[in-house]
């Protein structure tokens, strides 16, 4: 085989390679990006805070630590709590002891936290971004001899 014939064969192979498209290595499946969570958990607690003497419910200890320096009260107790498992853009509801409905809707999950829409029927409508395992305190309304205080604490895995 002469030089011209070998050159011609190499040129043909190069043309086939160019027209064939990406090499097999380029066609290998790329590793998938880590999937973003499609479900989050939101711990919702409804607490009764009162000026009347009484105990601090151990289940409300985290709330009590946050409130004790800024608010005067003599008792705190958890009235109801629920761990909501919600998909993004799914609304979770809880009826408060006052009869009003609390709505929690996780909207978007990012590095800075979970963006949630929160509504207490006829009282509050807001959006807030809450980091993982951080508690948000919402003063709701008068109830019996004190106030209702709602806490929300998201829990999720973020890649």
Is-contact 44 149, C-beta < 8 A?
Answer: no
Read off the pTM.
0.70
81-126 tens-digit pLDDT: 999 999 999 999 999 999 999 999 999 998 899 999 999 999 899 9
Residue 130 counted as domain residue = yes
Q: Which residue has the tokens 């043309």?
A: 15
Cβ contact 121:140 at 8 Å = no
Cα 60 from Cα 46, distance rounded (Å): 10
Q: Is residue 94 part of a domain?
A: yes
Q: Does residue 93 form part of some domain? A: yes
Give me the number of domains the chain comprises.
1
Residue pair 63/47 in contact (Cβ under 8 Å)? The answer is yes
Structural domain includes residue 19: no
The answer as to whether 96 is a domain residue is yes
Condensed to tens digits (0 to 9), the pLDDT of residues 42-63 reads 999 999 888 877 777 788 877 7
Q: Per the domain annotation, does 99 fall within a domain?
A: yes
What range defines the domain where residue 43 resides?
Answer: 39-155
Residue 14 lies in a domain: no
């Amino acid at each position: 085989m002469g030089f011209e014939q070998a050159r011609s064969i190499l040129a043909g192979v190069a043309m086939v390679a160019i027209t064939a498209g990406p090499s097999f290595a380029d066609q290998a499946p790329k590793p998938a990006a880590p999937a973003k969570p499609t479900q989050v958990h939101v711990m919702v607690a409804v607490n009764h805070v009162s000026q009347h003497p009484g105990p601090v419910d151990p289940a409300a200890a985290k709330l009590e630590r946050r409130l004790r320096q800024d608010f005067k009260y003599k008792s705190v107790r958890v009235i109801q709590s629920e761990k909501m498992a919600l998909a993004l853009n799914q609304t979770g509801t809880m009826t408060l002891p006052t009869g009003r409905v609390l709505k929690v809707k996780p909207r978007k999950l990012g590095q800075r936290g979970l963006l949630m829409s929160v509504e207490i029927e006829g009282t509050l409508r807001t959006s807030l971004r809450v980091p993982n395992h951080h508690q948000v305190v919402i003063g709701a309304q008068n109830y019996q001899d004190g106030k209702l205080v709602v806490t929300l604490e998201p829990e999720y895995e973020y890649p």
